[in-house]
């Protein structure tokens, strides 16, 4: 069994080394780990920081058209049976995350695995600000605004080959569209791995401002449309409202 982890980076000098260390420190018993860093031709110190790790990573540094284009490059280059994506400001929560993920794939035979995520302070990843507990999978939960956190979503490469990669029509909701397409439309099999898998620094693109949140809501609606699907009247209202409960545990 081979697992490919893809990190997308662009001018990520402040955080990229933490991310790389969190991947390379993972225990890998009974499986092979391939680590690809897809850099968008950074102009800061990102490439210099990555230089000492060149023997342990596959680095592709060239211009791209955005984060989802870079993700698609990573998927095309990955040689693993399983693929996970960890962005350049995220961290795995412990050194046995990938071991637990691979073990669940092996024991369940599932096509995908997902888990829980915590948002952390940008300057201090030990400080948790929000908790995203996914819960067990129910397909109809998508109609009530549910989705798993994308950084915790691991998929067999065969699923990408069968059902496609990230849509470049969308700027901020292509991860939502892909999971909607895989889990709801194609109904691939999935397993919930309980527990925090990823620590994500705050500052996501879709939540940066009210205008971005409005754009994200429009893109969420487009995600259903391009798949020939119709959400319930309340689906896209409930999706952002689900985030409110993530703060209660830390209020």
**CATH number assigned to the domain comprising residue 233:** 3.90.550.10
Is residue 59 classed as helix, strand or coil in its secondary structure?
Answer: strand
Range of the domain at 31: 2-248
The predicted structure's pLDDT at residue 207: 46
The count of domains in the chain is 1
Distance CA 54, CA 149 (A): 29
Task: Judge contact between 190 and 137, C-beta under 8 A.
Answer: yes
Query: What pLDDT, on the 0 to 100 scale, is given for residue 217?
Result: 84
Q: Is 101 helix (H, G, I), strand (E, B) or coil?
A: helix
DSSP 128-181: EEEEE---S--GGGGGGT----GGG-EEEHHHHHHH----TT-SS-HHHHHHII
In this prediction, residue 249 carries a pLDDT of 52
Which pLDDT value is given to residue 213? 57
The rounded Cα 161 to chain-centroid distance in angstroms is 18
pLDDT at 91: 97
Along the 251 residues of the chain, how does pLDDT read in single tens digits?
A: 999 999 999 999 999 999 999 999 999 999 999 999 999 999 999 999 999 999 999 999 999 999 999 999 999 999 999 999 999 999 999 999 999 999 999 999 999 999 999 999 999 999 999 999 999 999 999 999 999 999 999 999 999 999 999 999 998 899 999 999 999 999 999 999 999 999 999 875 444 444 565 677 899 999 999 999 999 988 888 887 766 555 555 54
What is the reported pLDDT for 206? 42
């Amino acid at each position: 069994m081979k697992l490919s982890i893809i990190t997308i980076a662009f001018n990520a000098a402040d955080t990229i080394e933490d991310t790389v260390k969190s991947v390379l420190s993972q225990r890998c018993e009974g499986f092979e780990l391939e680590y690809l860093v897809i850099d968008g031709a950074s102009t800061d110190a990102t490439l210099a920081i990555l230089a000492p790790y060149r023997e342990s990573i596959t680095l592709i540094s060239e211009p791209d058209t955005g984060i989802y284009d870079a993700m698609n490059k990573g998927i095309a280059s990955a040689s693993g049976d399983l693929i996970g994506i960890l962005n350049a400001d995220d961290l795995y929560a412990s050194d046995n995350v990938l071991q637990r993920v691979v073990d669940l794939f092996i024991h369940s035979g599932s096509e995908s695995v997902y888990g829980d995520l915590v948002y952390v302070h940008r300057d201090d990843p030990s400080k948790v600000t929000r908790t995203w507990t996914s819960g067990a999978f129910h397909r109809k939960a998508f109609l009530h605004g549910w989705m798993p956190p994308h950084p915790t979503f691991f998929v067999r490469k065969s699923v990408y080959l069968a059902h496609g990669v990230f849509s470049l029509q969308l700027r901020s909701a292509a991860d939502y569209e892909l999971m909607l397409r895989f889990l709801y439309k194609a109904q691939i099999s999935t397993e919930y791995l309980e527990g925090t898998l990823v620590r994500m620094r705050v500052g996501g693109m879709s939540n940066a401002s009210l205008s971005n949140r409005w754009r994200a809501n429009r893109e969420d609606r487009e995600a259903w449309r391009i798949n020939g699907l119709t959400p319930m009247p309340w689906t896209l209202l409930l999706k952002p409202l689900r985030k409110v409960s993530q703060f209660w545990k830390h209020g």
